[in-house]
């Protein structure tokens, strides 16, 4: 693996096949993405990644304070130093139900492990996550995640900022519009979705969302903020 130039991808990773206790494929982990995703999830398995020796020479290490989730901490460390490159291929297998780490699937999944080490990860790299969070990708990612958690009011903190940063971005307008709808702000939701449809008039999904917003706005007892 070679690395040349300041913008080189000094860490590259691929897709991992996940198997259950009977050896049956249940899915995959690892896909194209961006660094801020490391706040909530791993971007890949450790055995699907290749990293350039220069990262180790610069000080990237497994932190002994992390008895578990040490690979995620290592990836954040690397992400502070380089872009990642995704190789669109399945190169390894993870028997996620086997073992006692608590970081796998099924009997090898222990929420208490995550509750212990994830706050450590967030605290250690708070400045870096804040930096990534302030970028458009980060604003959209956090906003979408909070929508999925049914927290539209919190999502708007990120999505309204995303609209200010990129007022013609379709994803920002669409997500912010739907978050406003679920937060009880149908007028603002319609304003944003109308802008999205004007920018991409042939998109059926956007038109469906606009119609949904109008239906909700026409219903009684609409307009009280939630979330």
pLDDT tens across 86-107, in order? Answer: 999 999 999 999 999 999 999 9
- Which residues are 109's β-sheet partners? 103
Q: What is the pLDDT of residue 221?
A: 67
Q: What is the pLDDT of residue 8?
A: 84
If DSSP codes are grouped into helix, strand and coil, which group holds residue 49? Answer: strand
Overall CATH class of domain 9-131: alpha beta
Q: Residue length, the chain?
A: 227
Residue the block writes with tokens 């903190």:
157
pLDDT tens across 8-30, in order? Answer: 899 999 999 999 999 999 999 99
Q: What is the pLDDT of residue 1?
A: 54
pLDDT tens across 151-207, in order? Answer: 999 999 999 999 999 999 999 999 999 999 999 999 999 999 999 999 999 999 999
Q: What is the pLDDT of residue 20?
A: 96
Q: What is the pLDDT of residue 5?
A: 45
C-alpha R_g of the chain: 21
pLDDT tens across 117-154, in order? Answer: 999 999 999 999 999 999 999 999 999 999 999 999 99
Residue the block writes with tokens 């291929």:
89
Contacts of 171 (CB under 8 A, 6+ apart): 140
Rounded CA separation 108/103 (Å): 6
| Sequence ranges of the domains in the chain | 9-131, 139-218
User: At residue 68, does pLDDT exceed 70?
Assistant: yes
Q: Please, which pLDDT band fits residue 225 given cuts at 50, 70 and 90?
A: very low
If DSSP codes are grouped into helix, strand and coil, which group holds residue 156? Answer: helix
State the CB neighbour count (10 A cutoff) for residue 68: 15
**What CATH number should be reported for the domain whose range is 139-218?**
1.25.40.10
């Amino acid at each position: 693996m070679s690395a040349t130039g300041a913008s080189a991808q000094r860490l590259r990773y691929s897709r991992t096949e996940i198997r259950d206790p009977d050896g049956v494929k249940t899915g995959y982990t690892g896909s194209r993405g961006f660094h801020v995703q490391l706040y909530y999830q791993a971007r890949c398995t450790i055995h699907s990644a290749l990293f350039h020796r220069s990262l180790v020479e610069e000080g990237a290490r497994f932190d002994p304070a992390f008895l578990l989730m040490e690979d995620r901490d290592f990836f954040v460390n690397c992400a502070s130093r380089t872009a990642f490159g995704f190789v669109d291929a399945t190169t390894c297998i993870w028997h996620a139900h086997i073992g006692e780490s608590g970081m796998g699937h099924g009997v090898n999944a222990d929420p208490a492990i995550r509750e212990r080490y994830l706050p450590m990860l967030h605290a250690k790299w708070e400045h870096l996550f804040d930096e990534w969070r302030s970028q458009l990708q980060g604003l959209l990612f956090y906003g979408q995640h909070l929508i999925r958690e049914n927290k539209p009011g919190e999502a708007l903190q990120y999505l309204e900022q995303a609209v200010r940063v990129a007022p013609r971005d379709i994803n920002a307008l669409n997500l912010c519009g739907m978050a406003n709808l679920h937060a009880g702000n149908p007028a603002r939701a319609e304003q944003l979705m109308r802008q999205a449809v004007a920018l991409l008039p042939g998109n059926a999904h956007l038109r469906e969302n606009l119609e949904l917003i109008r239906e909700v706005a026409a219903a009684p007892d609409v307009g009280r903020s939630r979330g």
